[in-house]
Amino acid sequence: MKPRYNAEVNGHWMCDEGRNTYKYVNAAHRLKKVKAGQSGDWSQEEVFPETMKLGEKFRAAAEKNPESIAVLVTGQYTNEEFKNFFEFVADELKVKNIFHWINNPEKFDDFDGLLLRGDKNPNTYGLKEEMKSRGGFKSLEDLQGKMSQFEWVLVLGPENQSQFPDLKEKVDLLSQAKSVIWLSACETPELDALRAPTHQIPMKTYIEKEGSFTNFKGLVQEFKRGTTVIEDALTLQEVVALLRGHELDYRNRPQPIGGTKKNHFTNVRGQL
């Protein structure tokens, strides 16, 4: 696995940790449909109609009382996704209870002087920039103290869950909410015991979409879609469209590549 050359960032360098980050994008680890329900009672629902139906309830609650909605955000989505999302939630629905889920706050600003940083999110800078004009984030202490007061908690969950050591802690906190919408590319076993009615919506990974991330220096870097792994997984823009009540044309969506390429080396070592 060889990274694309980028003289502005790190040439061809890649750390050992970086070489292993792709594994969670494989189909075996992924959400394929909307997983709806609560502890002991889960069902698999079609992505497009279920998300639209969910949007009707979410919008109605926000229009009645924006203070009844909370949003918990990770820095794992693109600049374009964040812009579209906050225009909907913060600007249109007037939601103010927006919280930043930092994966490891005690090591967040660490740097080894070469490659490794405590912040394992690709777009923390872009997320903070998008929220600047909206007054920034509320403190997580406020979320912990008021969780039971929220009708809906919408979570822009982590794509790379291995970098969030407090995942179970945050899921346990969500048990106090009345209803939860959890966006994530991958299955999240920690949610299976959640008592609150929950909808887990399958999201695309970084290799299945295009957009840009902003690194710690403020350098915007664009990337293109590489392939499709899960046909019905959504971008955040598509989630927003469905929550708004807009129908999407799913007939011409990118399809997963059929089969696995075989050669001498894959026969010898097996699948990655």
Q: Which of 168-172, 251-255, 257-261 has the lowest mean pLDDT?
A: 257-261
Considering the domain boundaries, does residue 272 fall inside one?
no
Residue 82 counted as domain residue: yes
Q: Is residue 10 assigned to a domain?
A: no
Least confident of 67-76, 91-100, 159-168: 159-168
pLDDT score for 19: 62
235 assigned to some structural domain: yes
Q: How high is the pLDDT of residue 1?
A: 44
d(CA 183, CA 53): 16
Q: At what angle do helices 47-64 and 236-243 cross, to 10 degrees?
A: 60
Structurally, the chain folds into a number of domains equal to: 1
Residue 125 has pLDDT above 50, yes or no: yes
Residue 92, domain extent? 31-265
Q: For residue 70, is pLDDT > 90? A: yes
Asked if residue 186 belongs to a domain, the reply is yes
**Is residue 12 in some structural domain?**
no
**Residue 119's domain is classified under what CATH number?**
3.40.50.740
Label residue 227 by pLDDT band (50, 70, 90). very high
Weakest-pLDDT range from 79-83, 150-154, 161-165:
161-165
* Residue 171 included in any domain: yes
The whole-model pTM stands at 0.86
Q: Is residue 230 in some structural domain?
A: yes
How many C-beta atoms surround the C-beta of residue 5 within 10 A? 9
How far is the CA of 216 from the CAs of 8, 91, 122, in angstroms? 13, 26, 9
Tens of pLDDT along 189-202?
999 999 999 999 99
Instruction: Give residue-wise pLDDT tens across range 76-100.
Output: 999 999 999 999 999 999 999 999 9
